[in-house]
């Protein structure tokens, strides 16, 4: 019986693949229907490239090409694909700022600078370099950043490393759209305190994420999130300083976004749609109401 089953399986395989007619001496029974005397013909029914192009254009491809063309010219919506952003500057304008950031659009420190440039509507161009985990950095980049760290900005010909230094340089050199309250004011002092809270939240998250000690890690993270949520609740608008995006929001977002992505999977804790509705409102306002938010929380990475 085992031999007969093996013979039937072999005959079936040959028949399905366009093999030869079965040997007359083998009883096939129900498998007779699979016999064939010639390979089956293959009919190419795939559409041509021209037909695919027409279908793509009819289903939004033309619109996508229009958007990409606008991005190449420095216009259109914020996108990690764009290598030039002109905003209200005329065609042919040479930006004072060049941002060196990661190709994947994933680096959170690059994201902070990207968001600030979008929020302040500073014309800039982008040079993309790989993160260390994605490949070696070119020698031309090593020449301006020997450590290979990103982001780096070239502002008026001067090299500025480190994301926070870049943010404060942009705030000083491009004051037309301020993202921080005036220094020395109560609002300015509150903003400084909130920036410290952002670092405390990052530390609580990253420490817990890398640890198996949930008994201490989770309460520490939740308590710090409670403090941050209370600060959001204390303002009249959805953002940390009220109804406008500030540098505080820009410093929080890259990491809170990653908390919302990592903690449900690794720790079973939901950040969005969980116990912090103030952060739900904050996320929604950033995603829907500002160019900076749409750019930073859009397609990735970077």
List pLDDT tens digits, range 263-281: 999 999 999 999 999 999 9
Q: What are phi and psi of 83, to 5 degrees?
A: -105, 0
CB burial of residue 81 (10 Å; 0-12, 13-18, 19+): middle
The number of CA neighbours under 13 Å toward the Cβ of 98 is 12
What is the predicted pLDDT for the residue at 135?
A: 79
Instruction: Tell whether the model's pLDDT for residue 296 goes beyond 80.
Output: no
Residue 158's DSSP bridge partners are 155
Q: How confident is the model at residue 38 (pLDDT cuts 50, 70, 90)?
A: low
Instruction: Tell whether the model's pLDDT for residue 203 goes beyond 80.
Output: yes
C-alpha triplet 279, 287, 165: angle, nearest 5°? 80
What is the predicted pLDDT for the residue at 302?
A: 32
> Mean per-residue pLDDT for 226-251?
96
> Mean per-residue pLDDT for 284-295?
67
What's the token pair of residue 301?
A: 């990475």
> Mean per-residue pLDDT for 220-249?
96
What is the predicted pLDDT for the residue at 22?
A: 46
Percent of the chain at pLDDT > 70 equals: 81
Task: Please tell me what DSSP assigns to residue 32.
Answer: G
On average, the pLDDT of the chain sits at 85
98-133 pLDDT, tens digit each? 999 998 888 999 999 999 999 999 999 999 998 877
- 8 Å CB contact between 34 and 16: yes
What is the predicted pLDDT for the residue at 36?
A: 52
**Interatomic CA distance for residues 168 and 162, integer angstroms:** 10
SS (H, E, C) 198-262: HHHHHHHHHHHHCCCCHHHHHHHHHHHHHHHHHHHHCCCCCECCECCCCHHHHHHHHHHHHHHHH
What is the predicted pLDDT for the residue at 290?
A: 52
Rg (CA), the chain: 29
What is the predicted pLDDT for the residue at 58?
A: 72
Instruction: Tell whether the model's pLDDT for residue 294 goes beyond 50.
Output: no
- 8 Å CB contact between 102 and 301: yes
What is the predicted pLDDT for the residue at 40?
A: 66
51-90 pLDDT, tens digit each? 887 777 777 777 788 888 888 899 988 888 899 999 999 9
The set of residues, in sequence order, having a beta carbon less than 8 Å from that of 192 and lying 6+ positions away, is: none
């Amino acid at each position: 019986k085992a031999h007969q089953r093996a013979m039937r399986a072999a005959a079936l395989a040959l028949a399905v693949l366009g093999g030869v007619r079965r040997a007359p001496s083998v009883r096939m029974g129900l498998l007779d229907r699979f016999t064939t005397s010639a390979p089956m013909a293959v009919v190419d029914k795939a559409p041509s490239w021209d037909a695919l192009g027409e279908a793509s254009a009819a289903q939004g491809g033309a619109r996508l090409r229009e958007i990409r063309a606008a991005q190449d010219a420095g216009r259109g919506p914020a996108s990690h694909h764009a290598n030039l952003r002109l905003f209200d500057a005329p065609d042919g304008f040479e930006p004072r700022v060049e941002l060196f950031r990661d190709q994947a659009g994933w680096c959170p420190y690059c994201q902070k600078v990207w968001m600030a440039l979008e929020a302040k509507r500073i014309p800039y161009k982008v040079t993309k370099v790989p993160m260390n985990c994605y490949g070696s950095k070119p020698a031309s980049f090593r020449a301006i950043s020997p450590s290979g760290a990103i982001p780096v900005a070239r502002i008026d010909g001067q090299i500025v490393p480190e994301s926070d230094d870049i943010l404060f340089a942009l705030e000083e050199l491009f004051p037309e759209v301020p993202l921080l309250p005036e220094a020395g004011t109560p609002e300015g002092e509150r903003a400084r305190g909130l920036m410290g809270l952002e670092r405390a939240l990052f530390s609580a998250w990253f420490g817990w994420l890398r640890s198996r000690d949930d008994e201490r890690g989770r309460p520490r993270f939740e308590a710090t999130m409670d403090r941050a949520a209370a600060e959001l609740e204390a303002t009249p608008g959805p953002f940390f300083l009220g109804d406008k995006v500030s540098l505080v929001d820009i410093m929080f977002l890259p990491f809170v976004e990653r908390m919302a992505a990592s903690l449900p999977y690794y720790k079973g804790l939901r950040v969005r749609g969980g116990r912090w509705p103030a952060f739900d409102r904050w996320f929604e306002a950033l995603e829907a109401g500002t160019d900076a938010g749409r750019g930073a929380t859009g397609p990735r990475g970077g």
